[in-house]
Amino acid sequence: MQAWDYAIVGAGAAGCILAARLSEEASARVLLLEAGEKSRSPMLSMPCGDTFFIGNPRYDWSFATEPDPTLNNRRLMIPRGRVLGGSNAINGTIFVRGQRDDFDGWARSGAAGWSWDEVLPYFRKLEDWQGGASGTRGAGGPIRVELPRQREILCDTFIEAASQLGYRTNPDYNSGDLEGFGYYQCTHRGGRRVSVVDGYLEGARRSNLTTVTSAIVTGLRLDGRRCVGLNYIRDGRAHEVSVTREVILAAGVVCSPQLLELSGIGNPAVLERAGIRVRHALPSVGENFQDHFAARLRWRVRQPVTFNERTRGLSLLREIARYVFDRRGVLSMPIAVGFGFVRSSPSEPVPDLQFHFAPASYGASSQRRLDDRPGMTVGVYPLRPESRGSIHVRSPNPTMPPAIQPRFLSEESDLRRLIAGMRIARQLVSAAAFEPYRGEETRPGPELTSDEELRAHARAQGDTSFHPIGTCRMGSDANAVVDPRLRVHGLDGLRVIDASVMPSMVSGNTQAAAMMIAEKGAAMIREDAVSPQREAFPGTNGAAA
């Protein structure tokens, strides 16, 4: 049996950061396990790579939801990275921290230590912002953050249209105040994608860090109330791992709760239904699922200024040459170029809607195959949805995907905000700035105007934005899965450190917050190794249930 000080499950945004930071302690033996493979595809370095990798089973687990009764019983794809680097290796590269009130809200809800002022140092630590260091921005960190290397005429038009409607331009939405419009900041360096593999793992080539890919973790090993190791399968062979300090789950919003439940940690009713022996009762494992559910409005464009026509035929060959020799052009860009953060109504205290502007139009968002004719897309979603779903195992078989029950539009407030956002999107495209370019609206279509028609369209055509969070919720109450130091309630030697611990959604794309959680989580682990502190498991006086 192999013995390690730390074993990290999952080499995505959080896992790679944890591995790099924990292995900085020279005496600590660190094992990083990843179920996917290491890929050397040159396309992984291209910012546009998500259009090729999402939906590709070699790189994407391609999870699917159960039929969702709030979406006319539709099933949606939940892409998750199946490669070293996880979802961070195949995402859209957009870098959004969220707004101050998101994190202050976490602290108010019982996640002590996670207010904006307390997480800001870790955001600053991880980034290398092209604008340099300031009171809110970091420079010299492992993750380079840049604006796209070129401007797009349609995105400039989108920003000008917002200005014509009275919205402001925001040059740096990652300062804590995100309201306004502009160009997205991205995890790019000179036109190439920067992933956590590049920024963290490649720089942590140390003798005390071992990375194993194609490793399917099948369960955690418990000795009473302490996690002492795990089991995994690789190439058909079973392996046992002994851990002297901590096992850390960084397997993501789908697989972290799945692994807890496979190990007998979770809601007894769920476990018994799946045929799994209860080892530690923790009723909220797999609950609190949240995601950004979007409506994507599309228009034809009357001039050849979109990504659609530049990625076909001879034009594509020119774009390839431009990228190879200059790292510019369509292939150096994210598909969503422009942002907007606004309030759905003047009564909202902070922005509650996010817009993504793409100088392109495409089919199902899980595939993003561009249309033949010029087009553009304005996507919109409520920033902090109130709808909640769940993810739970179906059986003791670790290779069987869990049941994902999202219930995306179960709360009326989310529908109300989504409809308000669709109307604002139409106002933006109807502004004078778009007059030279605006063609027909192809989705939802100009004939759909009433609230009921837009509501029906959202249920029939809306889709996820690939930002799932919350299934191992952090908090101090008895219904939380981990405490504010990310330790699983009622167990020793086990933490969850990834986007699944977020109590509520951040205002924007989630990769930046997931990286921050890993930086802060690694610091907590090292602090606790020197001076361990443990609060009693809520409601049980510290005893395992």
State pLDDT tens for residues 146-176. Answer: 999 999 999 999 999 999 999 999 999 999 9
Q: Give me the pLDDT at residue 542, please.
A: 38
169: tokens are 């331009």
Residue 545 confidence class, pLDDT cut points 50, 70, 90: very low
Residue 368 has a pLDDT of: 66
pLDDT value of residue 111: 98
In this prediction, residue 52 carries a pLDDT of 82
**Domain coverage including residue 40:** 2-530
pLDDT of residue 2: 78
Q: Does 128 reside within a domain? A: yes
Any domain includes 537: no
Q: What is the pLDDT of residue 40?
A: 84
- List, for residues 494-519, the tens digit of each pLDDT value: 999 999 999 999 999 999 999 999 99
Q: When comparing pLDDT for 287 and 363, which is higher? A: 287
205 domain residue, yes or no: yes
Task: Name the least confident of 36-45, 139-148, 471-480, 491-500.
Answer: 36-45
pLDDT digits (tens, 9 = 90+) for 316-329: 999 999 999 999 99
Report whether 327 contacts 47 (CB < 8 A).
no
Place of tokens 């009723």: 283
Q: What radius of gyration, in Å, describes the C-alpha atoms of the chain?
A: 23
Number of domains in the chain: 1
pLDDT tens sequence across 33-65: 999 999 888 889 999 888 888 889 999 999 999
Confidence check: pLDDT of 369 > 90: no
The DSSP symbol for 24 reads T
Q: Which residue has the tokens 């007998």?
A: 264
Q: Please state, in angstroms and rounded to a whole number, the distance separating the CA atoms of residues 499 and 10.
A: 12
Q: Residue 353: what pLDDT?
A: 98
> What stretches of 196-236 adopt beta strand conformation (E)?
209-212, 216-223, 226-234
pLDDT above 90 coverage of the chain, percent: 91
Kindly state whether residue 277 falls inside one of the protein's structural domains: yes
| Token pair for 42 | 């040159």
DSSP characters over 229-284: EEEEEETTEEEEEEEEEEEEE-SHHHHHHHHHHHTTEE-HHHHHHTT---SEE-TT
pLDDT at 366: 58
Q: Within 10 A of 447 (CB to CB), how many other CB atoms are there? A: 7
For residue 472 the two structure tokens come to 């191992």
Task: Report yes or no: 82 and 421 within 8 Å, Cβ to Cβ.
Answer: no
Q: Strands, DSSP E only, in 385-503? A: 389-392, 403-405, 438-443, 463-464, 494-496
**Mean pLDDT, residues 69-78:** 97
Q: What is the pLDDT of residue 544?
A: 41
Which residue in 280, 356, 457, 467 is the catalytic one?
Answer: 467
pLDDT reported for residue 535: 63
Q: What pLDDT is recorded for position 49?
A: 82
pLDDT at 291: 98
**Is residue 271 one of the residues assigned to a domain?**
yes
DSSP bridge pairs for 299 = 376, 441
**Tokens at residue 261, please?**
């439940």
* β-pair partners for 188: 193
User: Does residue 535 fall inside a structural domain?
Assistant: no
CATH number at residue 477: 3.50.50.60
In the residue annotation, 467 being an active-site residue is answered as yes
Q: Which two tokens stand for residue 524?
A: 């907590």
Q: Which stretches within 114-229 are classed as H helix?
A: 116-126, 153-164, 196
107 and 113 in contact (C-beta within 8 Å)?
A: yes
Looking at the chain, the number of H-run helices and the number of E-run strands are 13, 25
In a domain, 540, yes or no: no
Per-residue pLDDT of 336-353, as tens digits, reads: 999 999 999 999 999 999
The residue type of 79 is: P
pTM here is 0.96
Domain for residue 474, yes or no? Answer: yes
Q: What pLDDT does residue 541 have?
A: 35
Mean pLDDT, rounded, for 258-268 = 98
Instruction: Give the percent of the chain with pLDDT over 70.
Output: 97
